Amino acid sequence: MVGKIKTSFICQECGYESPKWMGKCPGCGSWNTMVEEVQEKNNNKLIESTSRPLAINQIELLEEERYSTSLEELDRVLGGGVVRGSLILVGGDPGIGKSTLLLQVASNISSKGSLVLYASGEESSKQIKLRAKRLEVKEENLYVLSETNLSAIEKFIEELKPKVVVIDSIQTIYRPELLSAPGSVSQVREATSVLMRIAKTLNISIFIVGHVTKEGSIAGPRVLEHMVDTVLYFEGERHHTYRVLRAVKNRFGSTNEIGVFEMREKGLVEIKNPSELLLSGRPNNVSGSCVVCSMEGTRPVLVEIQALTCATAFGMPRRMATGVDYNRVILLMAVLEKRVGMQVQTFDAYVNVAGGLKLDEPACDLGIICSIASSFRNLPIHPKTIVVGEVGLTGEIRGVNMIEKRILEAKKLGFLKCIIPKENVRGIEIPKGISVMPVDNIHEALDVILGG
């Protein structure tokens, strides 16, 4: 007699497992994500462990072996280069440039004499060749494989023994032993587990491309992000040519660094100084415009914050924020009204970060307040003035970190005046060619910037 096939329902968003179908997942609250999958038979074989516990003092600490991708922006985000034997997940919206970036990385590494395997389950070899022709990729050590069967990919990896492998994408790869469809929780989890084993045992660096959902997170179970060593998000607006590469998780480096690229006809080009790009086309002598300096890891980036206030036509004023936290803008407007007496409760307020960049650093608080006050009073801020500072609920301006780097970046781009918190004046060396004006509260800051 043939045994009864056991099935279970697994949520495709979080991996929650249930013996029966449910419309709403109890784990993550998503609707219509429970999919029936066949349970695999457990052979209950005893596996002998090859590792033994060691005292922490007996473990030899070796520095990770890294190599460069010839893209300084990517190397900075990775913490100094690619670590041998690491598993790196790259996510981003469709068409943002994930495949283009990884094909350029594969080309750069293979040009140094190393073997690279580019395995794609979404495109044929001819389609990859068309993109390679546009990017002028002609390296002989770059091998292309159009395959979705993980067992076949594993066989070719063992034959070629490449230094780097690119999997595009993990949602299209499947293991024939599993009966579930490609992209399901079981397939993604198992495929990632196999790739992790290959990376660690053969000391091969593997890049995985992951699709993202409408909310912007990696599609599939969250366990995918927990299993890999590094998670990179490729961000950007369709209406802007530049792209931002950001590390969300990195076991071998910092998660604060960003890399900036510009999409051109022949691929992605590094932006060495993103401040110049973000400030290009900035209007002069217009109210509601203020330049702030935000720290992205160890790199200072100058960004323009724009604000527009106008009398509301309804009883409830409208508030909109793009690129900054909406609730933070509401809080700062309340501080502006309470501590300065600026009656903005009957005005609509719109705040935007020019260029599409997202700012989440408290050091940009003073810039948001100054741009709103400038628009409200219709008084322009001097175009060569930069503002830095965190604002508290009592109207005080608190100190920020890395103030010297911010001032040097402002001076390098031709700014003449820098408004900083009074706490940051102690012990810093002010470069020549820029005047630094310390302020203690938003009253002083508005007096200096707007003249009262």
Domain boundaries, the chain: 7-38, 65-272, 277-450
Residue 95 marked as a ligand binder = yes
Q: Taking 60 as the threshold, does the pLDDT of residue 157 lie above it?
A: yes
How far the first Cα of the chain sits from its last, in Å, is 90
Q: Taking 90 as the threshold, does the pLDDT of residue 303 lie above it?
A: yes
Q: Which CATH number fits domain 277-450: 3.30.2320.80, 3.40.50.300, 3.60.9.10, 3.30.230.10?
A: 3.30.230.10
Q: Does 65-272 match 277-450 in CATH topology?
A: no
Q: What percent of the chain has pLDDT over 90?
A: 57
Q: Taking 60 as the threshold, does the pLDDT of residue 3 lie above it?
A: no
Nearest CA to 205 among 170, 169, 232, 165? 165
Binning pLDDT at 50, 70 and 90, where does residue 2 land? very low
Alpha carbons 48 and 113: distance in angstroms, whole number: 39
Query: Is residue 287 helix, strand or coil?
Result: coil
Alpha carbons 363 and 386: distance in angstroms, whole number: 12
Q: Which residues pair with 31 in a beta bridge?
A: 24
Residue 94 marked as a ligand binder = yes
Q: How does DSSP classify residue 431?
A: P
Nearest CA to 13 among 193, 220, 194? 220
Binning pLDDT at 50, 70 and 90, where does residue 238 land? low
- The dihedral formed by the CA atoms of 230, 231, 237 and 242, expressed in degrees to the nearest 10: 0
pLDDT of residue 181: 79
Binning pLDDT at 50, 70 and 90, where does residue 126 land? very high
Binning pLDDT at 50, 70 and 90, where does residue 334 land? very high
Q: Taking 80 as the threshold, does the pLDDT of residue 393 lie above it?
A: yes
Residue 358 marked as a ligand binder = no
Nearest CA to 371 among 407, 406, 419? 419
Q: Taking 60 as the threshold, does the pLDDT of residue 1 lie above it?
A: no
Alpha carbons 236 and 406: distance in angstroms, whole number: 24
Residue 183 marked as a ligand binder = no
Size of the chain in residues: 452
Nearest CA to 27 among 44, 10, 42? 10
Q: What percent of the chain has pLDDT over 70?
A: 92
CB-side neighbour CA atoms (13 Å) of 142: 21
Evaluate whether 322 touches 353 at the Cβ level (below 8 Å).
Answer: yes
Highest mean pLDDT out of 25-29, 119-123, 368-372: 368-372
Task: Name the amino acid, one letter, at 21.
Answer: W
Task: Tell me what the mean pLDDT of segment 150-173 comes to.
Answer: 93
pLDDT of residue 5: 63
Evaluate whether 48 touches 220 at the Cβ level (below 8 Å).
Answer: no
pLDDT of residue 213: 63
Q: Taking 70 as the threshold, does the pLDDT of residue 306 lie above it?
A: yes
Query: Residue 376: what are its φ and ψ, rounded to 5°?
Result: -65, -45
The CATH code of domain 65-272 reads 3.40.50.300
Residue 97 marked as a ligand binder = yes
Highest mean pLDDT out of 33-42, 209-218, 246-255: 246-255
Helix (H) or strand (E) holding 92: strand 87-92
CA dihedral sign, ordered 293, 294, 295, 296: negative
Residue 99 marked as a ligand binder = yes
Q: Taking 60 as the threshold, does the pLDDT of residue 180 lie above it?
A: yes
Q: Tokens 């283009």 identify what position? A: 100
Q: Taking 60 as the threshold, does the pLDDT of residue 216 lie above it?
A: no
* Cβ neighbours of 360 (radius 10 Å): 10
Task: Tell me what the mean pLDDT of segment 329-340 comes to.
Answer: 94
pLDDT of residue 46: 47
pLDDT of residue 177: 82
